[in-house]
Amino acid sequence: MVSQLSEAVLDVIADALVDKGYILLSDIIPDNVSLALIEKMQAKQNIEFKSAAIGRGSEQQVNTQIRSDKISWLDKQDVIDNQYLSIMEQLKNGLNRRLFMGLFDYESHYAVYQPGAYYQKHLDALKGSQNRILTTVFFLNPNWQAENGGQLVIYDEDDSVITTVQPELGTLAIFLSERFPHEVLPTLVPRNSIAGWFRVSHANHGF
Ligand code: OGA
Ligand code: MN
């Protein structure tokens, strides 16, 4: 069964992106989908995690000073991954209809932050690069305790903290990739998330 994002929820998200450039949501991904994603992450034999790299193309390198999570890319062909990806597809279409964002594709990875892991403050897209436009982070940790660390801290353009997000199961953060520096504070216990990015097609930009 394909879960549907309501028009009302899409309106709320679109309005928030126009007004503030970000939104935090809970309860838009159905519990049965979240639980299947958690189970998949926990069934380590089904999913192979690699040290995450930074940079793009030939510039890519693993730098554990900056980030020390382990990742695995979602795949449309996988039945469970596709439940999440099809909701993101609805989000893409809903935002394109409302805001003419020209979002074209979506790439996303599972990330495991083992105890001690973090991701230092960074931007997901270089200003003006028009590659990653909109970031999503979905959290998969039931009963997260604040003392576990592992919060996602989102900063404003002037580096003041806008919000500190507990990586609690069911929370989805959505923000403009070029605008908001953010970081993952060191976690004390294993922390699971799915980070993803909507991109525009370079075909629309003279390449
Ligand atoms: C990223 C990122 C945050 C998270 O992968 O770029 O910022 O909470 N992830 O997984
Ligand atoms: Mn990021």
Task: State pLDDT tens for residues 87-112.
Answer: 999 999 999 999 999 999 999 999 99
Pocket test for ligand 1, best of 152, 169, 185 (most atoms within 8 A of CB): 152
Q: How far apart are CA 191 and CA 25, in angstroms?
A: 19
Q: Are 16 and 94 in contact (CB under 8 A)?
A: no
Q: Tell me what percent of the residues of the chain surpass a pLDDT of 90.
A: 78
Higher pLDDT, 51 or 18: 18
Q: Given this model, what pLDDT does residue 43 score?
A: 83
Q: Is the dihedral of CA 21, 194, 12, 164 positive or negative?
A: negative
The pTM of this model reads 0.93
In 27-131 the beta strands, taken as DSSP E runs, fall at 50-51, 70-73, 103-113, 119-122
4 pLDDT tier (thresholds 50, 70, 90): confident
Give 168's strand partners.
141
Q: Tell me what percent of the residues of the chain surpass a pLDDT of 70.
A: 92
Q: Given this model, what pLDDT does residue 127 score?
A: 72
Q: Tell me the residues surrounding ligand 2 (ion) with CB < 5 Å.
A: 124
Q: Given this model, what pLDDT does residue 1 score?
A: 59
195 lines ligand 1 (CB under 6 A): yes
Q: Given this model, what pLDDT does residue 49 score?
A: 86
* Domain 7-200 listed as CATH 2.30.30.90: no
Q: Given this model, what pLDDT does residue 207 score?
A: 44
The domain ranges of the chain are 7-200
124 lines ligand 1 (CB under 6 A): yes
206 pLDDT tier (thresholds 50, 70, 90): very low
Q: 1 alpha carbon to ligand 2 midpoint, in Å?
A: 31
71 lines ligand 1 (CB under 6 A): no
119 lines ligand 1 (CB under 6 A): yes
Q: 79 alpha carbon to ligand 1 midpoint, in Å?
A: 23
Q: How far apart are CA 105 and CA 117, in angstroms?
A: 29
Is residue 59 scored above 80 in pLDDT? no
173 lines ligand 1 (CB under 6 A): no
Q: pLDDT by residue (tens digit) across 130-181?
A: 689 999 999 999 999 999 999 999 999 899 999 999 999 999 999 999 999 9
Q: Are 145 and 168 in contact (CB under 8 A)?
A: no
Q: 38 alpha carbon to ligand 1 midpoint, in Å?
A: 17
**Cα dihedral value 139, 192, 151, 186, nearest 10:** -170
Give the residue carrying structure tokens 């991954």. Answer: 81
- Please, what's the largest Cα pairwise distance for the chain? 48
91 lines ligand 1 (CB under 6 A): no
Higher pLDDT, 129 or 96: 96
Rounded to an integer, the average pLDDT of 51-58 is: 75
Higher pLDDT, 201 or 78: 78
